[in-house]
Amino acid sequence: MKISKKDALMWFQFFAELPEEEELTPNQQEIVYATMAQIETAVEARREVLKAQIPGLKSLQGRTLYVGEDHRFPKGCRSCLLGTGLSAVRKTNKCNIQCKFCYNFGELDQIPPIGEGLWEIGGTKFYERDIDLLLSIYDKPTGISYVYLEPFMEIEKYYGVIAKFHKAGIHQHMYTNGLCVTEESLKALKEAGLDELRFNLGGTNCSDVVIRNMALAKKYIPDVGIETPMTPEFFEAFFEKKEVILATGIDFINCAELHLNMNNLGNFLGENMYMCRLGYLSPISSRDLTLQFMKIASEENWPVAVHDCSNQTKFARDLNLRAKEGGWFGASSYGSEFSQVPYEAFLSVLEDDTFEFLEEEELPEGYRPGDMMF
């Protein structure tokens, strides 16, 4: 069904007013899916044009896109997309800033601790002394990542575990907003064996303190880069400080396509949205800006790899993870962050006169407002 933008807007305005508990009829569900497909098809058509304008655009076995020298592409991403997947290690429940794009926005003070002396790996709680047992039973992963809030708020707790995984020959990368990074902690991380450190530079709007800490990190950590959700604010702030950022000697920039959940959606209402494969909900501008960013990076021959960590990338990531785990053919954990479609989030794009569907048809019989029983 190639629903028209006018009909889609009419129906979504109606759906947005329904009580949350009211279920849609099958025909109404078809209208929702048709609208999602129309928006996504138009978005992807625009992006094909943008990609065609990027000189030297490369693909990692069809799973993601990047520009720049191959050896600078982050090894943690290779592990995620080609190896055993994203093996997350969690410790802290603390963060020192509140980013508007954070999945935990508005609830940072309500996040339960992992447990005294405990680590969460694969959803299971471990003491540091259990790591040897874990490694003796499971096949060794190609890489692990220290995710979840801000590790540098209690970084001294990480050194022992990092050392154990380093001894086992496992690639390790860590995420930080960079504000709490010190030379002392970087020296300790080097001694423990951390391979890769990623700075969420967008979280501080390209803070000068964080930029200096990125340069400092390059003295101690083998691979250092930026990983941040791509937003208009980050795009603008980066180019204001482009020269000094690139002069830090970082190896890569991961431009993550921002995707939303119930916690952070309210911070972006009013932006044009789309839903990728009825899964992740994202502002259309996020990946569009990434592709523009990559075009400039390639044309100017920046000394970094710039990675398009898009919703498509995350879809490939989850397929790879389930395949490595021995899941059913086609199995994946990729899906929506919402229990039902947030209809209000799509009103902006449907009301935007500059956004056009590629093809439109009249609604068939049985799908018009007068045809349906409520």
Give the model confidence (pLDDT) of 128-163 as tens digits: 999 999 999 999 999 999 998 999 999 999 999 999
The 10s digit of each residue's pLDDT in 50-91 is 999 999 999 999 999 999 999 999 999 999 999 998 789 999
Residue given tokens 């290779």 in the structure block: 78
Kindly state the helix (H) or strand (E) to which residue 255 belongs, with its residue range: strand 252-256
pLDDT band at 366 (very low <50, low <70, confident <90, very high): confident
Query: Structure tokens of 287?
Result: 């990946």
**Mean per-residue pLDDT for 199-219?**
98
Q: Higher model confidence: residue 312 or residue 20?
A: 312
Domain ranges of the chain: 53-339
Q: Does pLDDT of 372 surpass 80?
A: no
Q: Does pLDDT of 295 surpass 80?
A: yes
**Mean per-residue pLDDT for 353-374?**
88
Percent of the chain past pLDDT 90, that is, above it, reads 96
**Mean per-residue pLDDT for 340-361?**
97
Q: Does pLDDT of 106 surpass 70?
A: yes
pLDDT band at 203 (very low <50, low <70, confident <90, very high): very high
**Mean per-residue pLDDT for 332-350?**
96
**Mean per-residue pLDDT for 280-285?**
98
Measure the CA–CA gap between 52 and 40, rounded to whole angstroms.
18
Measure the CA–CA gap between 294 and 309, rounded to whole angstroms.
12
CATH fit for domain 53-339, picks 3.20.20.70, 3.30.390.50, 3.40.720.10, 2.30.30.100: 3.20.20.70
The 10s digit of each residue's pLDDT in 234-266 is 999 999 999 999 999 999 999 999 999 999 999
What local confidence, expressed as pLDDT, does residue 16 receive? 96
Measure the CA–CA gap between 333 and 108, rounded to whole angstroms.
25
**Mean per-residue pLDDT for 322-334?**
94
Contact 19, 347 (CB under 8 A): no
Measure the CA–CA gap between 304 and 71, rounded to whole angstroms.
10
Question: What number of residues does the chain have?
Answer: 374
User: Taking the model in full, what pTM does it have?
Assistant: 0.96
What local confidence, expressed as pLDDT, does residue 370 receive? 77
What local confidence, expressed as pLDDT, does residue 373 receive? 56
Query: Structure tokens of 121?
Result: 């790996």
Q: Does pLDDT of 267 surpass 60?
A: yes
pLDDT band at 299 (very low <50, low <70, confident <90, very high): very high
